[in-house]
Amino acid sequence: MRKKLTQIRFIQDTPPETVVPEPARWQGRWHEVFGRQAPLHLEIGMGKGLHLSRMAYRSPEFNHVGLELKPDRVYMAHGVCNRYGLSNIRFVVGDADKLLDAFGPGELDMISVLFPDPWPHIRQVKHRLTHPDRLRRYQKLLKPGGALNFRTDHEALFHYTVAMLTEMGIPHQIAVPVERPLTNFEERYLTQGREVFGLLAWPNGAAESRIDPVKVGALNREAVALPS
């Protein structure tokens, strides 16, 4: 418990350069945070940041931002980032619903929602990260051709997400790329033999210049065994 409190205080009281304490200041100007113009990838609920760090390593041409509610997890992600010298990654601590307003319309090229809380009960549906209200927010934040990368081990949530995308007329492709950076949860699930469900979607339409999440993080650099 003491170690966890120390990690939380470190992130909250003396945030390192990788942590952006006032994200709303940078709405529409996230390229200034990174000091360069580059496609912008946002991961919502990044956990310990294993997937995001792997993406940042394997896709150096992208800027990557991770949103996470728990400061101790951000501390762990910062450690991985610092250890491997990843300069194209930033972290934001807080609730995703509030922090999405820190990004301007059309500022994002890709959003990853990986293994979110399934909120399985009917009364909890409004909390799902693929609820139509949130899909509409993603539409606002993504550029034309910008992609939504979604994976889950919860079959009911997966079918719900497919139904919502279909109902909203959002182009999507049911697929779990073989060559993909894994999350902490995903590594554990695959070891246990559990099935993973996934899809790629383009909330603003599948434009000719659409982002292909299968290629992002898969082709530019060889895989690296980042620690979990």
What proportion of the chain, given as a percentage, has pLDDT over 90? 58
- Cα 57 from Cα 3, distance rounded (Å): 28
Distance of CA 180 to the CA centre of its chain: 14
CATH of 2-201, one of 1.20.810.10, 3.40.50.150, 3.40.1440.10, 3.30.930.10: 3.40.50.150
Pick 209 or 155 by higher pLDDT. 155
Using the predicted structure, report yes or no on whether residue 76 has a pLDDT greater than 70: yes
pLDDT confidence of residue 184: 82
- DSSP of 40-96: EEEEES-TTSHHHHHHHHH-TTSEEEEEES-HHHHHHHHHHHHHTT--SEEEEES-H
pLDDT in tens, 26-69: 999 999 999 999 999 999 999 989 999 999 999 999 999 999 99
Which range among 43-52, 154-163, 219-228 has the greatest average pLDDT? 154-163
For residue 117, indicate whether it is catalytic.
Answer: yes
As given in the structure block, the two tokens for residue 58 are 């394997």
SS3 181: coil
Residue closest to 54 by CA, chosen among 42, 64, 45, 44:
64
Question: Which of 13, 101, 109, 117 is flagged as catalytic?
Answer: 117
- For the chain, the structural domain boundaries read 2-201
